[in-house]
Amino acid sequence: MNRFEADLLAYIHRRGDGVSGRVLVACSGGGDSVALLLLLWTLRKSLSLELSVAHADHGLRSESPADAEFVRQLCRALDLDLAEASLGVLAHAEAKGIGLEMAARELRWDWLRLEAEQSGASAVATGHTLDDHTETVFVRLARGGGLGCLHPLAPRQGLRWSPLAELRRADLRTYLGARKVPWREDASNAEPFTARNRWRPILDSVRQEAPELDRHLFETHLQAEEGETLARTLIAGWEGSRWFIVDEEIAFKREPWTEPELRWTLEAAFRRLGWPRESTLLRGLAPWLLEKLYRGRKPASWGNFQLNPEPDGGYLHLRQEPPSRA
């Protein structure tokens, strides 16, 4: 076991990924998934893993048959069972009126879930990397995702296991080069037909100025996730004493509130009730609510929301029709 492999093993143990037994490794033949397969094969005894491999042909590239044959040869060299599938991505996309990327993801994961179930695998290992995390963050930020953009890529999410979540794409290729293991390049990754592909050259330019961008961003997001967890725990502890939900209304006690405390409480309560909770809405609603809780003596409305005051606080409910502001 070399240093790179030992570092990955330490990451997995530190995170407590909790994966053992039969694991289905998704391998396209690209650099990330080939490195994933080789690393897990090397660490299989240390992690108590039984590996098998899954390869899906999306039928979108002329190189697909060569990719499939490459994965077959790799599995023969490693003495691993291989499951293959040909997916009708184009027909699925046209039938559902969705993009090729989404169609490919839907069909691929439907098949991987079925294959995992039939083979008794407890997890499907994927080659998501630290670079994928950074790309996802910027795509979400560009769409206005709020604090949710700052959640780090979860190494374990349901059936999916991404053990390489803290490793750089370039380091994986360096590792493959040192092991003299080839991989297949997917030229479509450089074509600007998806937002992720368009962000890649931009981020490559940023990394020239900030080589540690990905690691620093990941650490920042770990801290943001910890802060959000602490805030949600605090708000949950106040339920029943400072606020509570009754009959589709949120009751607030007339106690010393700060605007951030109210905003986080609103977000938690709205999530429970299934109400809209966009950050711009909550930033407008929280200061209005703060003022009305202390100074209001009659019902008041803000957008689709109405506050009915009580001697010791007030009840907020969602109206069907937006009234004029009071």
264-291 residue pLDDT tens: 999 999 999 999 888 889 999 999 999 9
Map residue 189 onto helix, strand or coil. Answer: helix
Q: In this structure, is residue 150 part of a structural domain?
A: yes
Map residue 126 onto helix, strand or coil. Answer: coil
Q: In this structure, is residue 220 part of a structural domain?
A: no
* pLDDT for the residue 80: 97
How many domains in the chain? 2
In this structure, are 122 and 258 located in the same domain?
A: no
Q: In angstroms, rounded to a whole number, what is the distance separating the alpha carbons of residues 77 and 54?
A: 15
Cβ(308)–Cβ(299) below 8 Å? yes
* pLDDT for the residue 319: 83
In this structure, are 250 and 167 located in the same domain?
A: no
In this structure, are 206 and 71 located in the same domain?
A: yes
Strands (E), 107-172: 123-125, 156-157, 160-161
Does the global pTM surpass 0.85?
no
Q: In this structure, is residue 58 part of a structural domain?
A: yes
Amino acid type, 259: E
Q: Is 208 exposed, middle or buried (0-12, 13-18, 19+ CB in 10 A)?
A: exposed
Structure tokens at 276: 């809209």
In this structure, are 69 and 170 located in the same domain?
A: yes
Q: In this structure, is residue 325 part of a structural domain?
A: no
Whichever domain contains 71, its CATH number is 3.40.50.620
* pLDDT for the residue 145: 64
Q: What are the average pLDDT values for consecutive 10-residue runs of the chain, which has 326 residues?
A: 94 92 95 96 96 90 88 96 89 84 88 94 95 88 73 84 94 96 79 79 91 90 87 95 94 92 95 89 93 85 92 88 47
* pLDDT for the residue 326: 45
* pLDDT for the residue 152: 67
In this structure, are 178 and 307 located in the same domain?
A: no
Residue 58 lies in domain: 3-211
In this structure, are 295 and 184 located in the same domain?
A: no
